[in-house]
Amino acid sequence: MEAVLCYAPYIAQPLRSTPVLRDVSCPAPQCSICNQRALCLPGMTEDTAIGRVDRLVSARRRIKRGEMLYRAGEPFKSVYAVRSGFFKTFAITDDGREQVTAFHMGGEMMGMDGVGGEHYRLHALALEDSEVCIVPFARLEELSCEVRSLQHQFHRLMSQEIVRGQFVMLLAGMRAEQRVAAFLLNLSQRFAARGYAANEFNLRMTREEIGNYLGLTLETVSRIFSRFQDSSHIEVQQKHVRLLDPGSLKKLLQQAQAA
């Protein structure tokens, strides 16, 4: 599997801003008082043990929009918990294209692509000003043996990454409309799980990034947004989306087809 895909080091920087990597350690990173706590590594850890979980995070880091959090090929030492902001991860394929593999929001882990290897396999880029907690992986492995609930939550989060992959696999048999519908519903749910409005949100990524992720062109994504708007499924204006009728989007996904 490895050799088929070349995870070439990311070279060009014709990105957004100047990707200058800054490491801003914020004072006293504490899981115990973090609002992402429930979804993140601490999970259901009881208050008696939460103090030990605090030791997990070595530092925090602010990443400006357009900056890279890590690059494929860099030595893998840490995973990251997104405190705030929005990221995409992507690979550079054999033919030199960029392929978006996932979008990450608050409370989700990043850097799991490096687990079990010496290096990260993917590139991670902030799509808006963001902040992450740096979790040295060795420390995570150690602590997870001491604190059972941490071990469980860690495995849960790894598994979540696998499920995220399965989401993309399910796209394989879908039409463009269904893919876009699934994408919007997926985002909606994840926002909802984080206490944001489920039916009204701002897309942090461009049409091109959406299309790349879904295996469509940006034009197709744009057209389908317009079509969904015409049929009153949603309201779109640039990055702002409102799901007028999530139920009808779900129905779209249930419409069987031949293939």
Give the binding site for DNA (CB under 7 A): 14, 16-17, 175-177, 203, 206-208, 215-223, 225-226, 236-239, 257-259
- 115 scored as a contact of its own copies (CB under 8 A): yes
d(CA 149, CA 97): 40
Nearest one of 124, 56, 122 to 88, comparing CA atoms: 124
Scan for tokens 């598994």, then name that residue. Answer: 159
d(CA 131, CA 76): 19
Nearest one of 208, 238, 211 to 226, comparing CA atoms: 238
- Restricting to residues 169-198, which ones interact with its own copies according to CB under 8 A? 169-173, 182, 185-186, 189-190
- 157 scored as a contact of its own copies (CB under 8 A): yes
x/- mask, its own copies, residues 199-218, rule CB under 8 A, reads: -------------xxxx-x-
d(CA 185, CA 201): 11
Nearest one of 176, 186, 188 to 222, comparing CA atoms: 176
- 160 scored as a contact of its own copies (CB under 8 A): yes
The β-bridge relationship of strands 68-70 and 109-110 is unpaired
| Closer residue to its own copies (CB): 155 or 239 | 155
Residue 177 interacts with, from its own copies, DNA, none (CB under 5-8 Å by kind): DNA
3-state SS, residue 241: strand
- Restricting to residues 85-104, which ones interact with its own copies according to CB under 8 A? 91, 93-97, 99-101
CB count, 10 Å around CB of 136? 16
Residue 251 Cβ, how far from DNA at the closest point, in Å? 17
Which parts of this chain interact with its own copies (CB under 8 A)?
A: 1-5, 91, 93-97, 99-101, 112-117, 121-122, 141, 144-145, 151-152, 155-173, 182, 185-186, 189-190, 212-215, 217, 250, 253-257, 259
